[in-house]
Structure 1
Amino acid sequence: MAKIINLETATTNCSVSISVDGKLVSVKEENTPNYSHSEQLHIFIKEALEEASFSFSDIDAIAVSKGPGSYTGLRIGVSAAKGLCFSLDLPLISVPTLESMANQLHIEPNEIVIPVLDARRMEVYSCVFDDAYHEIRETKAEIIDENSFAHYSGFKKVHIIGSGAEKCQEVLSHSNFQFYKEAFPSSREMAKLAQKKFKANDFEDVAYFEPYYLKDFILQTKKK
């Protein structure tokens, strides 16, 4: 049985879960606008292990949400995951953040899901998945306007989920578009994706793995 710690820190939701063969046995998470990851992440790991009645010696792998998302959030999650892998001699699994988000929804045939994470101004990070949750358009950063995702308007339903859904809803008027504005990435959906990678021995190089930032980090400075 594969016991995996799943870490999700790509957005404001600090989330930790323990899964056994892809099934959740414990979850600890908190979504606050102030990014509590640096204070809460290791506490949540400890609490999730206690709730599952596991110790670190029981764990077989560490999975981390790889991005895109918050630069700082991703750094915290990946640093924690690497530290655990090095200290416990465990393999590292990376799970694409938007793929994990897409799996929050149950979609029917001839429907698609577009997870969108809020970026600056009218920009989002997005990816497109079909009704089998296969990626049919790569992840990219894009400016949202009235023509965004128009190529997919022929599907029965287009589900747009995530923190960027609100700005999408402001400009997209297709009747078959549905918006889920309160959704955030969670370690809950990472469980089955991490298990699939574990079975395939699809592991990252712990020493060289870096988060998928998608865009370069820009330091904001005050004007004098």
Structure 2
Amino acid sequence: MALLLNIDTATTYAGVCISNNMEILATEESRDQKNHGSFVQPAIQKLLKQVNISPGAINAIVLSAGPGSYTGLRVGLATAKGLCYALQKPLIMINTLEVMAYASIFAYSNFQVGSRDLLFCPMIDARRMEVFTALYNAQLKCLSKPAALVLTEMSAGFLPDNKQIVFSGSGSRKFKNINLRENAVFIENEHSVHHLAVLGAKAFNKNEFTELAYSEPFYIKEFFNPQHGIKIKNLL
């Protein structure tokens, strides 16, 4: 048995759930991005009370580690690291794009035959014409590593022309407006903390833990602040 506390505050969506292996025991969710910070701690306390377990009974903390909103990522990591240090529990960090790809694979396989031959491209809106994106096959193998890309400059090397690709996420809505690919499929499904819990359970069973002292969100790119003349890791 692996009791996991799963935390996702990486995007406009926020979710917290407690899972036993891959079984979801209780969930709290919010779509008010400005209040992710005030949502997380009360949600965790509510869930622990709901399933009637103590914080020490949790075996590990699972975090959606980015890319995504700078503030959301800091909220999630600060919460997860604080709990890990206090409870002496390991931390599991899952790339947010991987969670989104898994959600698309799961959703698409429910109503399409032959989805094993498809590729999946989750996209997070990074403002203007830029997105955070990656490319996965139906077995969740990463084919093009996570990157910050301008939609009008996406190369064939990142998105192969001879494959049908399923696009999802907030950034894909912008890409749909300029897309000229005949083999593109756009779906509106959303990822949730439940998808994170599944990947977290798999990582836990493989002992894929993060070095707590050196853990940081997966930012992808840096933001240059001309006022101070320094580079600050940032996203949105």
Question: What's the TM-score once normalised by structure 2's chain length?
Answer: 0.86
Deviating more after overlay: 129-138 vs 77-86: 129-138
Matches of residues 46-57 of structure 1 in structure 2 within 5 Å?
A: 46-57=45-56
2:9 equivalent to 1:9: yes
Q: Where does residue 216 of structure 1 map in the other structure?
A: 222
Distance 1:170 1:25 in 2: 39
Deviating more after overlay: 96-105 vs 140-149: 140-149
SS at match of 1:35: helix
Q: Where does residue 178 of structure 1 map in the other structure?
A: 185
Give the AA of the match of 1:212.
Answer: F
Q: Where does residue 67 of structure 1 map in the other structure?
A: 66
Matches of residues 96-107 of structure 1 in structure 2 within 5 Å?
A: 96-105=95-104, 106=106, 107=109
Contact persistence 1:13–1:35 (CA under 8 A): no
Contact persistence 1:163–1:182 (CA under 8 A): no
Give per-residue Cα distances to partners, 1:20-59, cap 9 Å, x unaligned. 1122111111112x42111111111112223333221210
RMSD (Å), alpha carbons? 2.0
Q: Where does residue 197 of structure 1 map in the other structure?
A: 203
The equivalent position to 2:194 in structure 1, one of 175, 184, 188, is: 188
Give how far 1:71 is off: 0.9
SS at match of 2:222: coil
Q: Where does residue 118 of structure 1 map in the other structure?
A: 125
Question: What's the TM-score once normalised by structure 1's chain length?
Answer: 0.90
Contact persistence 1:14–1:36 (CA under 8 A): no
Give the AA of the match of 1:3.
Answer: L
2:166 equivalent to 1:159: yes
Give how far 1:201 is off: 1.4
SS at match of 2:25: strand
Distance 2:161 2:34 in 1: 35
The total of aligned residue pairs comes to 218
Matches of residues 18-33 of structure 1 in structure 2 within 5 Å?
A: 18-32=18-32
Give how far 1:218 is off: 4.9
Distance 2:151 2:159 in 1: 14
SS at match of 1:211: coil
Contact persistence 1:18–1:24 (CA under 8 A): yes
SS at match of 1:82: helix
